[in-house]
A and B are shown apart, each in its own frame.
Chain A
Amino acid sequence: MLRYLDEYRDADVCKKIAEKIRCISTKPFNIMEVCGGHTMAIRKNGIHSLVGENINLISGPGCPVCVTSIRDIDRVLKLAEAKDVVICSFGDMMNVPGSDTSLSEARALGAEVKTVYSVNDVLAFAKKDPGKRFIFISIGFETTAPLTAAAIIRAREEKILNFNVLALNKTMPKAIKAVLGAEDCNIDALLGPGHVSTITGINMYKPVVYDMGISCCISGFEPMDLLRSIFVLTDLFEKDRIEIVNAYERVVCDEGNLKALKIMETVFEPVTSEWRGLGDIEGSGLKIRNEYSDFDAENFFDIEVPETKEISGCICGEILRGTKTPENCSLFGSICTPLSPKGACMVSSEGTCAAWYKYAR
């Protein structure tokens, strides 16, 4: 048995919670699941079909691959052209197309590209082969950024100077605010990102909850966790109450992981970041601080690229803000498919459109 996983996968309990949700839900209710992992888990387990007609589960911008701009992909691909450079990336990024090509295509044409499970593997490669520069493409939110920061600190301690990072990490709070603050936003509650919250703690949701009058329930990823969180939010909504609830208490606490946060702040500082589908959001990206510039790939390479445009007809921005669904998009399922993704929401398997294509057709 997989401890702390299988206990939360009881089909009978899920059916009972779903029944209770349907019982107490009396009016239309839009819940945004911020995290792409939640989108996948909900669709894969059919949660969306169990909670009744009133409840709409809407995917938000919490998919780091989806929100990486085409421009940033192009910058990665420009890096891949450099001599004696090995690009190291998570598998998630390999097939994401830039304006012209992707990392897996670049590899086919001779670029040195490795997929890695962990940034630690890149450190090991760099140590073993000092003649090449190993550049880690760092994507991810607050769950993943501390890992890159820890690797940079370790690289400094062990003097692994041929280890570089291209920092493309983003942070959640400003993006959530941007989505909820949009004029056409019709979100009634938030399903809070469970693993981001293990690092950040709960405090960052307070402005959202109290200023915007929207409840937030931090949720785990197993079916019972998701249904519990949806039940909690529905109950609050029906009673006109606004609260933050931590329903992933086994790994999320109020203050988060202070050590990880400190490590992250030591290496990174906030910067404006371009979110595909949402545009520039101030203070929502992470940049490597000057003190660690010797590990910053941007210091060693000129990777400026021309401006890029989304394909005409793409409504990813509205989908990411929760105001439209993939079925509203004229490109969905025809021109835009997982094999040939044209917009942010289709590029990653946990993007809204990719998840709909796979699980909800």
Chain B
Amino acid sequence: MKTITMDHGSGGKLTHNLIKNMFFKHMGNDILDRCDDSAKLDMEKGKIAFTTDSFVIKPLFFPGGDIGKLAICGTVNDLAVSGAIPKYITCGFILEEGFSETELEKIVGSMGKWAKHANVKIVAGDTKVVEKHNADGIFINTSGIGIIDKNISLGIDKIKSGNKVIVSGTLGDHGISVLSKREGIKFDTTLESDCAPLNFMIREMLSYTNGVLFMRDPTRGGLATTLNEITAESGMGIIIEEKTIPVKEEVRSACELLGMDPLYIANEGKVIIISEAPAAERIVDLLKIHKLGQDAAVIGEVTSVNPGKVYLRTKYGGEYIMDMLTGEQLPRIC
């Protein structure tokens, strides 16, 4: 089995061969192929959105995706939910000595494929190799640039009492599908990660409505954690209705089995939208046109009561505070 060695990170011949025969092969485009020290980009006038993220997921390959797909989609989505059109991505790799070249090629190939799919160019990159045991296989860091449409103005300060909370689809799919492959928990499911680029769906939706005030993607910590971020930053309260929240049957089953809560489980292909109340149903309809938004639903509303807190109303009429996730959610016996 061919593996990555310290020499691949030395900057010498092996490094250049790796870049040319693997990275450029799968990710190449007119900008990257120039091999400049910095990518020189033509940008339209106006505001840009600029984001960064790092990816350390285990296992590297999971139903519906891999760390490479996650890196591209995660970055694209951070830009898209800010109201920007994603354009350019950079990626830095830290590889552990001994990492399989075959696995690396699969990951790089996946990144190239999904970048094309999302219509973004990977314009710069870097590769370092560290000694065995100093990294866990592969770590990927990305940054992303997008152009903000001057007609779109989103912001946490726009959120007001009476606004509606919308989610673009079923919750918990990604986290549960990854967990199903994790050592010590393994279970069989047909569930796949929902990892996907949301930029086209969001762009189209925004072109047909002015009612969107704010968006965020509910990744780590799930819906509950992200809603808590929104209430903390906006100073408003949010109440959500349990019976309206879309959750796949298999996610429900897995959570019952393991004693976990789907509202705290990571998603990688969903967006939370805060909208003006009259526009909410139309936004749901617009999302539903797309394959990625088929299960969109209005799940709650913004309130001025209980500022900074997220409440859940159960179908039995009780209400309770949904706090932010305090640590890692683990399967429990009690």
Contacts and interface: CB of A to CB of B under 8 A. Distances in A.
Interface of A: 1-2, 5, 9, 11, 14-15, 36-37, 43-47, 49-50, 63-65, 90-92, 94-95, 104, 114-117, 121, 125, 140, 144, 223, 338-339, 348-350, 358-361
A276 to B, nearest CB: 15
Given A2-B253, A36-B334, A92-B333, A104 B319 contact: no
A121 B256 contact: no
- A-B pairs, top 8 by smallest CB distance, nearest first, are A46-B318, A91-B330, A359-B320, A11-B315, A121-B184, A92-B332, A90-B333, A117-B331
A188 B330 CA distance: 36
Do most interface residues of chain B lie in helix, strand or loop, or is the interface mixed?
loop
Interface string B52-75: 000000000000000000000000
B12 interface: no
B185 interface: yes
Contacts of A5: 256
Contact of A94 (B185, B317, B319, B330): B330
Interface in B174-225: 184-185
B314 interface: yes
A15 B252 CA distance: 24
A11 B316 CA distance: 5
Interface residues of B, number: 23
A224 to B, nearest CB: 10
Interface in B289-327: 314-321, 323, 326-327
A95 B314 CA distance: 28
Given A95-B327, A116-B184, A117-B184, A37 B317 contact: no
B310 to A, nearest CB: 12
A218 B249 CA distance: 29
Given A37-B334, A114-B184, A15 B317 contact: yes
B315 to A, nearest CB: 5
Contacts of B323: 338, 358
B318 A49 contact: yes
Contact of B258 (A44, A46, A117, A339): A117
A43 B320 contact: yes
Contacts of B330: 91-92, 94, 115
Contacts of A9: 315
Residue among B185, B256, B321, B332 facing the most chain A CB atoms (10 A cut-off): B332
A140 B334 CA distance: 8
Nearest to A66: B334
Nearest to B333: A90
Contacts of B318: 44-47, 49-50, 359
Contacts of B316: 11, 14-15, 45-47, 50, 223
Contacts of B315: 9, 11
A91 B331 contact: yes
A314 to B, nearest CB: 20
Nearest to A350: B334
A291 B185 CA distance: 31
Contacts of A1: 249
Contacts of B252: 2
A283 B256 CA distance: 33
Given A45-B314, A46-B314, A114-B184, 14 more contacts: A1-B249, A9-B315, A14-B316, A44-B314, A46-B319, A46-B320, A49-B317, A91-B330, A92-B332, A94-B330, A115-B184, A117-B184, A117-B331, A338-B326
Nearest to A121: B184
Contacts of B249: 1-2
17 contacts: A2-B252, A5-B256, A15-B316, A15-B317, A44-B320, A46-B318, A46-B320, A65-B334, A92-B330, A92-B332, A95-B327, A115-B331, A117-B184, A140-B334, A349-B332, A350-B334, A358-B321
